[in-house]
Amino acid sequence: MRPLTLGRLLFRCGILAVILFVVVVIALKMGAVQVSLYGLGRDLIRVLLGQSSAISTDYGMIVRDIRLPRILLGIVVGASLSVAGASFQALLRNPLADPYVLGVSSGAAVGAIAALIIESHLALSPELAGLITPLGAFIGAGLTIAAVYFLGRRDGQIDSSTLLLGGIITASFLSAIIMFLMNTLSGSNLRGTVFWLMGDLSTPQPRSLLFLLSFGFLAAAGAIYTTASDLNLLLAGEKEAMHLGVDVPRVRIVVYLAASILTGLAVSVGGTIGYVGLLVPHVMRLIFGADHRMLLPAAALGGAIAIVIADTLARTVVAPSELPVGAMTAMAGAPLFIYLLRRRIT
Amino acid sequence: MHRIISSFVSRPAALVHVFLFVAAIGVFAQADSPRPSSQTGARELVDEMGRSVRVPVSPTRIISLAPSITETIYALGLQDHLVGDTDFCDYPAAAQRKPKVGGIINPNLEEIAALRPDLVLVTKNINRLDTVRALDTLGIPTYSSSAPHTVSEIISSTQKLADVLGAPEAGKSLGQEMEGQLAALQTKLADVPPRRVLFIVWTEPLMSAGKNTFIADALRKAGGVSIVEASQDWPKMSLEEVVHLQPDYLVFAASHSESATRDFEALATRPGWRLLDAVRNRHFAVISDAVNRPGPRIVSAIEELARQLHPEVFQDSPSPERVSPPANAASFVSPHAAFSSLSPSYCSGSVESSCVH
């Protein structure tokens, strides 16, 4: 295999970026209300020229205020999940690891439900009230990450298999708590939570949150990227990596924290969207190889592409109703996973 | 070798990331523009959720996000101003032909925006708060009705809605009609002891309506009393408890009486259920699923139940024409919708067969 050079890396990322762009344009075009490519282009030019007021209501409200924010949210969520998945797979050296394997999504769900309960007792302005669920979810995810981290430590160091088992047990414990809360509480707010548990991007998020998510993603993904070549060596084994001069405990903590933050960000707005974090890294590894310097950006772009496609389908297949995007990713993801699995065996 | 490459590779690659996102965010941020404020003749009012909203004095492009509201709009004669409703708005039949904006829990925002409504109506008990917030963000006026706990709250809520829609007289006469019908019924039932009933919302698992729901109040108005004392809205019941409490009647709400009869037969064959006197004596009442909707038809559903619980009182007066059930049997009505969304697994395939409508 030819060595990875900067040119090859940029070229491959460029191809993926072009695919993402095309997918986004198609996603912008598709939906309950038909818009034309010409109209999209015309309005993009108007926006760039600063003539936003000339845009018709259909395009203005539907494309700009509803469709575009949702697609951008999908991009950030997909990229976060996929990078987190690739990181956890490398860190735990387990091909089955995905962003939710350490119980983060269950923790986020408990946090979101708690936030909804607290919210109903507070008189908050709509602006703040819209932020409280993601915030609660993020705090829940953070607390779970911390708890699993302490469960997964052995002799002051993270032990991969202990961490994995600790995460699985924590997840099942928290799921039980969710079941308990869902069956004892009633109220219209909890109905949203169910949707959220299935993975859903249909709720428009405040604009400020999208900025926050984007910068959180850049920071956390950037932190993981600094360890990319260490992760490559880690694939050979922890002892081997250590002999080759990798500061294994440091890499583990950086990747663990950053990947958990990515998961927390994604789950706080999108709920549990399965298979993206598990599958996209595998597919990218098949196409581009296991070099994490290539794999991480490829996974980010691939995850974004996957979610935008899945969410566009979720929006359109049963229009005017919508499916949760988590249902779409699972429907497409599970068969694909089985295919990849069988291919590897034979 | 790895190190050497990575030292120059990592930074530009990160830059690609940054570029992509900043570009996306840049376009997005620039797209922010002042929204045209085209609302002339609007007034400020407080909805039943306590939000203050600006609504047109007499809205002409209304979207209803709840079946009960759709029914109310038709009952008020304002159907020409209704430009869209949900997949579950199946009554009256004409409501099925209105443009659909998706489900109750997950309406399609694009579809709503495309219909250019000047008012969207939601109810606190079945719609999501997120939907209201999203509509607020889009600058679409949204009025929310409260979650009624009694039949009289349904009537007052109907009248408030009529005021909001600019039809206070129609609301007043509709309210008086409902109240009059109820009062006549109460006079009839004044001397009969109430029947102890179990209202069955769902059979698997067995769910009933709690004491704070308008359904419990509707049962009272129909000369019944629910054996369920739970303060939860849709409590799960254990068979043990039901056998212990021994209801006089089982009450099913269905769009088709045959499906409710099938449900009853299915229950009767289950172990344990034969311990119920009501099952052995085939004491079950089937009423229109209108009872599940806090809308105008609830009064006739109450009367329908009263006739089955206390036939002796109604012997002299002929039964009024039964409100014909909508053709579309797969109607998700409010409590079901509330429940099905709380436990999605239960409403997968079993809605038609084992669940009461």
Q: What is the pLDDT of residues B67-91, one digit of tens each?
A: 999 999 999 999 999 999 999 998 8
Residues in chain A with pLDDT < 70?
1-2, 52-55, 57-58, 123-127, 185-192, 344-346
Stated length of chain B: 357
Q: What is the pLDDT of residues A193-204, one digit of tens each?
A: 777 778 888 877
Q: Could you give the 3-state DSSP secondary structure of residue B197?
A: strand
Listed residues B170, B200, B220: the one ending a domain: B170
How many residue pairs bridge chain A and chain B with CB atoms within 8 Å of each other? 185
**What is the percentage of chain B residues whose pLDDT exceeds 70?**
77
Phi then psi for residue B323, to 5 deg, are -60, 120
If asked whether residues B140 and B220 sit together in one domain, one would say no
| B108 in Cβ contact with B351 (< 8 Å) | no
> CA–CA separation, B26 vs A48, rounded Å?
10
pLDDT at residue B306 tops 60:
yes
**Helices H, strands E: what count in chain B?**
13, 10
Phi then psi for residue A152, to 5 deg, are -90, 0
> How many CB atoms are located within 10 Å of the residue B197 CB?
27
> CA–CA separation, B200 vs B207, rounded Å?
6
If asked whether residues B158 and B211 sit together in one domain, one would say no
pLDDT, position B347: 34
pLDDT, position B181: 93
pLDDT at residue B327 tops 80:
no
- Given pLDDT bands bounded at 50, 70 and 90, which one contains residue B335? very low
pLDDT at residue B269 tops 90:
no
Phi then psi for residue B270, to 5 deg, are -75, 145
Cross-strand partners of B254? B288
If asked whether residues B260 and B347 sit together in one domain, one would say yes
Which amino acid makes up residue A271? Answer: G
If asked whether residues B134 and B229 sit together in one domain, one would say no
Which residues of chain A from 182 to 201 reach within 8 Å of chain B, CB to CB?
Answer: 182-184, 186, 188-192, 194-195, 198, 200
Q: Which residue of B has its CA nearest to A66?
A: B110
Listed residues B137, B170, B203: the one ending a domain: B170
Both structure tokens of B244: 């212990």
pLDDT, position A338: 87
B338 at interface of A, judged by CB pairs closer than 8 A: yes
| A302 in Cβ contact with A284 (< 8 Å) | yes
- Is the C-alpha dihedral spanning A12, B24, A255, A140 positive or negative? negative
If asked whether residues B142 and B210 sit together in one domain, one would say no
A46 at interface of B, judged by CB pairs closer than 8 A: no
Residue among B226, B213, B88 nearest B148 (CA): B213
Both structure tokens of A210: 């999208």
From the candidates A186, A247, A318, which should be mutated to test the interface with B, based on the most B CB atoms within 10 A? A186
If asked whether residues B342 and B263 sit together in one domain, one would say yes
If asked whether residues B163 and B204 sit together in one domain, one would say no
Give the pairing type, strands B195-200 and B249-254.
parallel
If asked whether residues B316 and B217 sit together in one domain, one would say yes
| B200 in Cβ contact with B215 (< 8 Å) | no
pLDDT, position B320: 56
Residue among A67, A70, A19 nearest A40 (CA): A67
From the candidates B48, B49, B68, B129, which should be mutated to test the interface with A, based on the most A CB atoms within 10 A? B129
pLDDT, position A4: 79
pLDDT, position A345: 56
If asked whether residues B147 and B223 sit together in one domain, one would say no
Domain around B104: 43-170
Q: Is residue B114 part of a domain?
A: yes
pLDDT, position B343: 35
If asked whether residues B316 and B221 sit together in one domain, one would say yes
CATH number of domain containing B284: 3.40.50.1980
If asked whether residues B65 and B207 sit together in one domain, one would say no
Phi then psi for residue B60, to 5 deg, are -120, -10
**What is the percentage of chain B residues whose pLDDT exceeds 90?**
36
Q: Is residue B118 part of a domain?
A: yes
A293 at interface of B, judged by CB pairs closer than 8 A: yes
pLDDT, position A131: 79
**Helices H, strands E: what count in chain A?**
15, 2
Distance from CA of B122 to the nearest CA of A (A): 12
- Given pLDDT bands bounded at 50, 70 and 90, which one contains residue B268? confident
Q: Across the interface, which of B3, B12, B234 has its CB nearest the CB of A229? A: B3
Q: Is residue B179 part of a domain?
A: no
Enumerate domains of chain A plus CATH numbers: 6-345 (1.10.3470.10)
Listed residues B139, B170, B201: the one ending a domain: B170
Q: Which residue of A has its CA nearest to B26?
A: A48
Q: Note whether A321 contacts B103, CB cutoff 8 Å.
A: yes
Please give the mean pLDDT across all residues of chain B. Answer: 78
Q: Is residue B214 part of a domain?
A: yes
The number of folded domains in chain B is 2
Highest averaged pLDDT of the listed ranges A58-72, B23-37, B285-299: B285-299
> CA–CA separation, B170 vs B130, rounded Å?
31
Q: In the β-sheet with B224-226, what is the strand arrangement from edge to edge?
A: B224-226, B195-200, B249-254, B284-288
Q: Which DSSP state fits B59?
A: -
Residue among A36, A303, A339 nearest A311 (CA): A303
Both structure tokens of A318: 């049963």
Q: Is residue B95 part of a domain?
A: yes
Q: Is residue B146 part of a domain?
A: yes
A247 at interface of B, judged by CB pairs closer than 8 A: no
If asked whether residues B332 and B227 sit together in one domain, one would say yes
Q: Which DSSP state fits B46?
A: E
Q: Is residue B28 part of a domain?
A: no
A29 at interface of B, judged by CB pairs closer than 8 A: no
pLDDT, position A191: 64
Q: Across the interface, which of B14, B21, B124 has its CB nearest the CB of A214? A: B21
B30 at interface of A, judged by CB pairs closer than 8 A: yes
pLDDT at residue B218 tops 90:
yes
> CA–CA separation, A230 vs A247, rounded Å?
8
Give the pairing type, strands B82-84 and B62-64.
parallel
Phi then psi for residue B82, to 5 deg, are -85, 115
Both structure tokens of A203: 């709720």
- Given pLDDT bands bounded at 50, 70 and 90, which one contains residue B272? confident
